Amino acid sequence: MIPIQHILFLGATLFVMGLMVVVVKRNAIMILLGIELMLNASNLNLVAFNTHHITHMDGQIFSLFVIVIAVCEAAVGLAIILNVYQFYKSSVPDDINTLKD
């Protein structure tokens, strides 16, 4: 039996790692990677709390929906990054500071 506290500590640490990747890195794709890391940490918590209940599977189903949302976010985000890259020739978010040319 895995102690649930340790799973929650792992989830919290992974979430903070994702947050720090988003803040520290200066590249749009690295920011997407950090967001995926944070969503995964939240999934870990959902599945951990799901082991509390004998009959209900709500935690697992919530984590499945989180995975679906993460896929949508990655697809649209990468399309936006490619479009921005073709226009600005850069994928550094600090360089992208005008709405219109």
Structure tokens at 79: 């399309």
* Cβ neighbours of 42 (radius 10 Å): 17
- DSSP class of 93: G
Q: Which residue has the tokens 């989180």?
A: 66
Terminal Cα distance for the chain, rounded:
59
- Give the shortest CB-51-to-other proteins separation in angstroms: 5
